[in-house]
């Protein structure tokens, strides 16, 4: 595939290059979270009871999330067809929910599908390195390996606490696919 740039784009690139790399400021990601606009941050873990966890320090968690989201790139994924089934408990990954001051919710979680593996057996298949960024009715897929890993492998736990007692959740025992 050949990329063609117009005269304006070429002039802009030349101007940027003439300034030197140290003077170029990278715009923040369109998925960044504004700390002043956040009302709450929670994570519902990946266990069947799906306990809610709150951050120990919201500002630190938001800063960590923004660092990861700055590296995210939009992607288009073709998921295997997910089967429809009803379960008595939650079977998906941990879900990060950010509620902004307007009441709108942003949910971020590893991209997954449900696959039938036998007569009454199912498996969750994860899209390696891809997260779902859902804001209201808008759903975007982001290639963000660090955020995927942080959510999928419960690395977020060190910065969060839960109110009720119980066992420490671990990653769901399911396979990943590429």
Give the residue extent of every domain in the chain: 31-177
Specify the length of the chain in residues.
178
Compute the distance between CA of residue 84 and CA of residue 24 in angstroms, rounded to an integer. Answer: 48
pLDDT given at position 163: 64
pLDDT given at position 33: 82
Tokens 């715009």 belong to residue: 27
Q: What is the DSSP letter of 36?
A: G
Which of 134, 133, 157 lies closest to 47 in space, CA to CA?
Answer: 157
pLDDT given at position 79: 66
pLDDT given at position 114: 85
pLDDT beneath 70, residues of the chain? 1-29, 78-81, 163-178
pLDDT given at position 40: 92
Contact 66, 29 (CB under 8 A): yes
Asked whether the CA dihedral 150, 152, 155, 161 is positive or negative, the reply is positive
Name residues whose C-beta falls within 8 Å of residue 160's C-beta, 6 or more positions apart in sequence: 43, 53, 54, 55, 56, 61
In this predicted model, what pLDDT tens digit does every residue of 27-69 receive, in sequence order? 346 777 888 889 999 999 888 778 899 999 999 999 999 999 9
Cα torsion at 102, 105, 106, 110 (round to 10°)?
Answer: 170
pLDDT given at position 81: 67
């Amino acid at each position: 595939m050949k990329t063609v740039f117009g005269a304006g784009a070429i002039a802009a690139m030349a101007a940027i290059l003439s300034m030197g790399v140290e003077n170029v400021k990278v715009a923040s990601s369109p998925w960044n979270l504004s700390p002043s606009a956040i009302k709450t941050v929670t994570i519902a873990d990946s266990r069947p009871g799906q306990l809610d966890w709150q951050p120990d320090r919201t500002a630190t968690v938001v800063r960590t999330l923004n660092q990861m989201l700055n590296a995210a790139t939009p992607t288009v994924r073709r998921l295997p067809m997910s089967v429809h089934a009803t379960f008595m408990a939650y079977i998906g990954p941990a879900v990060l929910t950010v509620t902004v001051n307007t009441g709108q919710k942003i949910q971020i979680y590893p991209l997954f599908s449900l696959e039938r593996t036998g007569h009454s057996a199912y498996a969750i298949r994860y899209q390696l390195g891809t997260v779902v960024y859902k804001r209201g009715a808008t759903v975007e897929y982001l290639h963000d390996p660090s955020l995927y890993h942080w959510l999928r492998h419960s690395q977020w736990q060190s910065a969060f606490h839960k109110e009720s007692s119980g066992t420490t959740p671990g990653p769901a025992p399911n396979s990943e696919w590429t």
